[in-house]
């Protein structure tokens, strides 16, 4: 019998290799943490406990990403269809089995079909992002956030701007690969007034790196397929 890890994971897609599905455990991520510092390790997290089941939230490597080679293991039936459909942003509950040190899905169920979308070298950045950055500059702060509303005055998203990091750090890439998790920002949306939780209303999280601006934008749109999300896709996708 192989050791297993049960937990809730954010799927980060295949940012490194089309054959590798990247997951990040969300159970040990502080929901109140401002995501400005890298926290995840560079390699996969293999359980070291000798028991058959390992609690990922208690593991010292709980924040390390897990890379699943989807071409090494054959999945069948509903599990195969679920694994094939997983895309960046989806929140899942999963049991991961460790076979000779390599992870494979033993079971997986989708909690929320949230979408993470990354657009680099964008032009024509919308004014709300520019105004949000002006507030950050005025406060001499490395980031700033605000809730946006639709024409009826209802909240439709949480907009954040982060200063581009000095030196070799690439914040856009860190968000894309999970080195700096987006989940604290997604979880804040769950606490917004009159906004259904993620499990009931999937989000669309847009990460934009403008060509001509000194910041990176993270826009947590409350409705994945709503008017605002479609407008952002048509503009930048």
Ordered per-residue pLDDT tens for the chain, 237 residues: 889 999 999 999 999 888 899 999 998 787 777 666 666 443 333 333 333 333 333 433 556 789 999 888 888 999 999 999 999 999 999 999 999 889 999 999 999 999 999 999 999 999 999 999 999 999 999 999 999 999 999 999 999 999 988 778 899 999 999 989 999 999 988 887 789 999 999 999 999 999 999 999 999 999 999 999 999 999 998
| Predicted local distance difference test score (pLDDT) of residue 157 | 96
Q: Report the alpha-carbon distance of residue 88 to residue 49 in Å, rounded.
A: 29
| Predicted local distance difference test score (pLDDT) of residue 40 | 46
| Predicted local distance difference test score (pLDDT) of residue 70 | 85
Q: Report the alpha-carbon distance of residue 5 to residue 46 in Å, rounded.
A: 9
Find out whether 119 and 126 touch, Cβ atoms under 8 Å. Answer: no
| Predicted local distance difference test score (pLDDT) of residue 62 | 55
| Predicted local distance difference test score (pLDDT) of residue 49 | 35
| Predicted local distance difference test score (pLDDT) of residue 125 | 96
| Predicted local distance difference test score (pLDDT) of residue 39 | 61
| Predicted local distance difference test score (pLDDT) of residue 46 | 37
């Amino acid at each position: 019998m192989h050791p297993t890890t049960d937990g809730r994971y954010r799927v980060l897609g295949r940012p490194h290799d089309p054959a590798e599905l990247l997951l990040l455990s969300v159970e040990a991520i502080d929901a109140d943490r401002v995501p400005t510092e890298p926290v995840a390790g560079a390699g996969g997290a293999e359980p070291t406990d000798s028991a058959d089941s390992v609690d990922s939230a208690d593991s010292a490597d709980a924040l390390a990403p897990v890379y699943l080679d989807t071409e090494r293991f054959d999945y069948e039936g509903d599990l195969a269809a679920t694994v094939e459909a997983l895309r960046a942003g989806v929140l899942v509950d999963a049991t991961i089995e460790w076979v000779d040190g390599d992870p494979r899905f033993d079971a997986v169920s989708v909690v929320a079909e949230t979408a993470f979308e990354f657009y680099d070298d964008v032009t024509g950045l919308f004014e709300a992002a520019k105004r949000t950055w002006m507030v950050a500059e005025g406060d001499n702060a490395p980031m700033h956030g605000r809730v946006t509303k639709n024409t009826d005055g209802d909240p439709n998203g949480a907009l954040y701007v982060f200063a581009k990091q000095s030196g070799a750090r690439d914040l856009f890439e860190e968000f894309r690969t999970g080195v700096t998790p987006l989940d604290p920002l997604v979880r804040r949306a769950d606490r917004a007034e009159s906004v259904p939780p993620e499990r009931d209303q999937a989000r669309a999280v847009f990460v934009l790196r403008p060509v001509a601006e000194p910041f990176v934008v993270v826009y947590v749109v409350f409705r994945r397929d709503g008017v605002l999300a479609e407008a952002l896709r048509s503009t930048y996708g």
